[in-house]
Amino acid sequence: MNPNKIQQLQLAPDIGRQLKEQALQALPEECCGILAGYLAGGRMHIRQLLRLVNVAQQERMANFAVADADLIKAARLLRQQGLELLGFYHSHPFGLPAPSRKDVASCNGWDGYSHIIVATDGGDRTQLAAFITQRPMWKRIQIQGAES
């Protein structure tokens, strides 16, 4: 994927709500998962979320990690459904919707993929921010359909 050509993430109806719900359900830990869909016209169209188990060994309140076996299984499932793995999402409990240094470092090797960060205060305030992963920093992009 060429990260310079992607300008926007288009969420299918209900995806924004699902992201927010998962972030709240996972509190006080970070939730994480896969963004699936297709590319068209400079947009990543997100049609499905695949929730993954946060297998971080330490401080799951401030870290997330996914098992390689879960990624392989998810990639197979998406191929069967005719969808592409377009990126990832995770939450920042009681944090900001911006990538941390750990986030940027953990996505090494995933240049050009999208990433949504869901920041929540644990109550009714939740924010989504989308990025394209690029070393050494991430490029912020617009989200359409996040108001669900």
pLDDT digit string, tens, across residues 114-123: 999 999 988 7
pLDDT in the model for residue 142? 92
pLDDT in the model for residue 60? 61
pLDDT band (50, 70, 90) for residue 53: confident
pTM over 0.85: yes
Task: Please determine, for residue 126, whether its predicted confidence score (pLDDT) is greater than 80.
Answer: yes
- What is the distance, to the nearest Å, from the Cα of residue 71 to the centroid of all Cα atoms in its chain? 13
CATH of 8-144, one of 2.30.30.230, 3.40.50.970, 3.40.140.10, 3.30.230.10: 3.40.140.10
pLDDT in the model for residue 74? 93
> pLDDT tens digits for 12-42?
999 999 999 999 999 998 999 999 999 998 8
Q: In terms of residues, how long is the chain?
A: 148
pLDDT in the model for residue 86? 94
State which H helix or E strand residue 45 sits in. strand 43-52
State the distance between the two ends of the chain, measured CA to CA, in whole angstroms. 27
Residue 23, helix vs strand vs coil: helix
> pLDDT tens digits for 56-114?
767 666 678 788 899 999 999 999 999 999 999 999 998 899 998 888 877 766 888 99
Q: Other C-beta atoms within 10 Å of 108: how many?
A: 10
* Alpha helices per DSSP H over the chain: 15-26, 68-81, 101-106
Residue 117: C-alpha distances to residues 3, 77, 81 (Å): 18, 23, 25
pLDDT in the model for residue 68? 87
Task: Please determine, for residue 148, whether its predicted confidence score (pLDDT) is greater than 50.
Answer: no
Domain ranges of the chain: 8-144
